[in-house]
Structure formats: C-alpha cells, structure tokens
Amino acid sequence: MNEHPSTLSPNDPTATGKRRSKPWRWVAGGAGGVLLALAGTAGFFLAYPERAPASLDRTIEDVSGENPHPVALIRPPVQPLSALAQLGEKIFHDPSLSGSGTQSCASCHDPARSYGPPNDRDVQLGGVDMRTEGLRPPPSLAYLYRQGPFGIGPTDQENDAPIPLDQLAQQAQGTARATKSAGTAPAANQMVPSGGLFWDGREDTFMDQAKGPMMNPAEMANKSLYDVAAKLQRAKYVSDFKPIFGNDIVNQPAMLFTEAMSALSRFQVESASFHRFDSKYDHWLEGRRV
C-alpha cells in the first residue's frame, strides 16, 4: 500500500491542526474563560455595587464613580405651605421692610443660588444708603431646618443632636487636661462645635436670627422693631396676618413684628426650596448615576 503521510502522526504538523488542539489553545481558551468570568463578575458588581464585597468598595468607586453603599435619604414630606409660611415668603421677598427700601432677605440670600449670595462679592452692601459693607459673607440658607441649637460635643454620625453643656461638663470631670506635647491624647474625644445659626452659631432659632438682619445697620438697617412694624402695617399683605393672629394684630406693633419673624421662620422650615436634596452628591448617596 502506498503510504500516505500519516494524518495520525503526532509529529505531523499538518494533522494536528484538525484532529487535536495545540496546548497554547487550551491555555488561551482557559484564560479567555477566566477573563469572561471576571468581566461578568465585575459587570455585575458595577451594576449592583451594594452587593459587592467590602474589599471592592474602593475599586468600584474608582472605576464607576458610584457609591458602593447607597442610602435612602429621608426627605421631609412635601406639602402645601401653611398660611403662616406663605406670609413668611412674602416678607422674605419684601424690600420695603428695609431702611433703604430696596433690600429684602432675598437680596443677599438668592433663591436661584441656594439662598446664597447673588454675586461673587466677598461681602454684600447694605444699610440705608446701600453702601455699607457687611462684615461676613452671607451663607446659604439651605438645610437649616435640621440645625440644632449650638453645642460643643463629640461627633456622632448617627445622631446630629448636640449634647447639653451640663452633660458635657460632667463628662469632662476627672479627665486629665491635654498638654501640648506630641502623643498626648486629647482631653475629650473629638469635641466639635456644631449647631446654631450664623457662622459662629450665636443664635439658636430662626425667629431670633431674623431680627439680626432687620436691625443690622449694614443690612436692612431698621432702627427698631417699631420701625419694622410700621413698614409691615403699610405692606400690601398686612391683612394676611388677621386670619392667623386675629384682627387686632395689626394694631399691636411688637406682636406684629414677632409674628413676622415667626412667619419667616416657618417659610424657611416648610418650603422644600430650602432643602431640595437634588445635588449631585445627593444622587450619588442614593446610588444614582451622576
């Protein structure tokens, strides 16, 4: 018999391609499988970052930018503004309540800029002549409804409520004071000031706070609460006070002023425009793509 080149010979280079795999193909095939599995797993964890093991948190954040542990933000219920808050909104936007007749709360706390300053000036101008410079920049008024009274206490991520000062004093008793030498533990663990209104937390409530800009000579520059009350008595919306506080309220300047401050307070607490939870950071916290 005429012998054909053996197609079965293991040494025959033409045969092996058809009949049996080369070892490198196995290796390549195996590696491909592993890669596919890895890609699948990575894809799964990127799509469901909350199910990934903690050790991958950093990688997920770096690769997809997503929050590996999304949270559900608790938003205050959205409901129509109360009559008092609606009145507060009018007061907030009323420039006739200022000494200059041209400045309202909204002049320095612009609703279109998260109730922050309307321009990039370091400090705003105000006063009767609108030429007096303020001492500090106006902060945004967003999320202040969560602000507790001023206090100095340990940081507690779960509970933002400040600790009463007498409780702190008790905690501090018997604690050795830290000296300024390297390696000494601080006298109290992570004591931080928090809460209060204004940059220095000097007012605890919106009602007390609002008297500040009303009287501040560099801001709305009224001489006294009676000055403000007289302007309220002339305001278009003055009759809005009556169904809430009784008809006589408009003849009681001190009460009229106090209730106006209360209305400003309710507006800032109730209006969702002050706490929108729609920043990129909020979306990220909730695990949405930003």
Q: Does 199 bind ligand HEC (CB under 6 A)?
A: yes
CA distance 144 to 12: 83
CA torsion 150-156-160-161 (nearest 10°) is: -60
Closer residue to ligand HEC (CB): 70 or 116? 116
Q: Does 60 bind ligand HEC (CB under 6 A)?
A: no
Give the pairing of strands 132-133 and 125-126.
antiparallel
CA distance 78 to 239: 27
Q: How far is the CB of 235 from ligand HEC (least distance, A)?
A: 13
Query: For the stretch 158-185, what's the b/e string if a residue is b when 16 or more beta carbons lie within 10 angstroms of its beta carbon?
Result: eeeebbeeeebeeeeeeeeeeeeeeeee
Q: How far is the CB of 71 from ligand HEC (least distance, A)?
A: 24
Residue number closest to ligand HEC, CB atom: 105
Q: Does 256 bind ligand HEC (CB under 6 A)?
A: no
CA distance 280 to 19: 59
CA atoms within 13 A on the CB side of 186: 6
Q: How far is the CB of 227 from ligand HEC (least distance, A)?
A: 13
Interface residue with ligand HEC, options 138, 153, 162, 253 (CB under 6 A):
138
Coil, strand or helix at 152: strand
Q: Does 143 bind ligand HEC (CB under 6 A)?
A: no
Q: How far is the CB of 117 from ligand HEC (least distance, A)?
A: 8
Interface residue with ligand HEC, options 85, 108, 225, 228 (CB under 6 A):
108
Q: Does 146 bind ligand HEC (CB under 6 A)?
A: no
Cα-trace Rg, the chain: 33
Q: Does 198 bind ligand HEC (CB under 6 A)?
A: yes
Tokens 């808050």 sit on residue: 85
Specify the stretch interacting with ligand HEC by CB under 6 A; choose among 65-73, 100-108, 226-234, 241-249. Answer: 100-108
Closer residue to ligand HEC (CB): 210 or 229? 210
Q: How far is the CB of 213 from ligand HEC (least distance, A)?
A: 3
One-letter amino acid for residue 242 of the chain: K
Residue 52's CB: how many other CB atoms inside 10 A? 18
Coil, strand or helix at 126: strand
The footprint of ligand HEC on this chain (CB under 6 A) covers a number of residues equal to 25
Backbone φ/ψ region at 49: left (φ over 0), alpha (ψ -120 to 50), beta: alpha
Interface residue with ligand HEC, options 86, 194, 209, 271 (CB under 6 A):
209
Q: Does 271 bind ligand HEC (CB under 6 A)?
A: no
Interface residue with ligand HEC, options 264, 271, 274, 275 (CB under 6 A):
264
Closer residue to ligand HEC (CB): 171 or 273? 273
Binding site for ligand HEC (CB under 6 A): 103, 105, 107-109, 124, 126, 134, 136-139, 141, 144, 197-199, 206, 209-210, 213-214, 219-220, 264
